[in-house]
């Protein structure tokens, strides 16, 4: 699996250490193992997880600004765990409302020795933001309007919202709540993945 990951990273022009690659593969192995009992992802094949979960997450890293991030509705740790592995200088709070997912995240944190993640079980609108975050990240979590409504209290004044989307969500962008503006819409290239991927970066006005 490490060879497959290496070729995918090379195709995406991403350079990682051997330790980071081992951690990413270790995460996929844990996800595959726990998925049988916990039903954490609909992707059953570990090779497909490399494309649809790992690469789909890490291609976002160059576009992040700041050091403190919160991954809302992280599920089994996507994109937060892969991002924490490839961005060890930053800290990621992994927020989910389901206890079984947070238990899985704590196991991943323990087995992979990740010191820069904090799994938290909470509803996002009830989670306090002290100190505020540099970035709020979500992947397949909600519409942009709902994301901003539920998460508006989490970033600091200069903080950003990072929404990982498939096709460019022009309808959602047109319905942004007042006080927010789109900073950029970044097309993402994910090797061996069918379909479009976009990162929508939103700031406060």
Are 100 and 77 a contacting pair, CB within 8 Å?
A: no
Per-residue tokens: 175: 């319905």
- Identify the residue whose tokens are 């090797």: 191
125 is in an annotated binding site: yes
β-bridge partners, 202: 161, 182
124 is in an annotated binding site: yes
What is the C-alpha separation between 200 and 10, in angstroms, rounded?
24
Per DSSP, the residues of 140-204 read SSS-HHHHHHHHTTSEEEEEEEEEEESS--HHHHHTPPTTEEEEEEEE---TT--S--EEEEEEE
What is the helix, strand, coil percentage profile of the chain, to 5? 40, 25, 35
139 is in an annotated binding site: yes
Mutual angle of helices 18-38 and 99-112, in 10-degree steps: 150
- CB atoms closer than 10 angstroms to residue 17: 11
Show binding-site residues for S-adenosyl-L-methionine: 73, 78, 124-125, 139
> Which positions make up the binding site?
73, 78, 124-125, 139
């Amino acid at each position: 699996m490490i060879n497959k990951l290496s070729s995918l990273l090379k195709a995406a022009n991403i350079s990682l250490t051997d330790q980071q690659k081992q951690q990413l593969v270790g995460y996929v192995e844990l996800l595959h193992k726990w998925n049988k009992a916990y039903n954490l992802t609909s992707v059953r094949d570990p090779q497909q997880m490399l494309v649809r979960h790992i690469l789909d997450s890490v291609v976002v890293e160059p576009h992040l600004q700041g050091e403190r991030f919160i991954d809302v509705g992280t599920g089994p740790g996507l994109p937060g765990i892969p991002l924490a592995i490839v961005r060890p200088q930053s800290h990621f709070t992994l927020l989910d409302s389901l206890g079984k997912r947070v238990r899985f995240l704590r196991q991943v944190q323990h087995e992979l020795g990740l010191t820069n993640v904090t799994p938290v079980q909470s509803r996002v609108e009830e989670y306090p933001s002290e100190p505020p975050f540099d970035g709020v990240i979500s992947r397949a979590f909600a519409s942009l309007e709902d994301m901003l409504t539920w998460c508006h209290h989490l970033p600091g004044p200069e903080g950003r919202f990072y929404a990982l989307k498939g096709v460019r969500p022009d309808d959602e962008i047109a319905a942004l709540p007042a006080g927010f503006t789109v900073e950029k819409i970044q097309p993402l290239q994910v090797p061996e993945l069918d379909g479009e991927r976009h990162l929508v970066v939103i700031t406060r006005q």
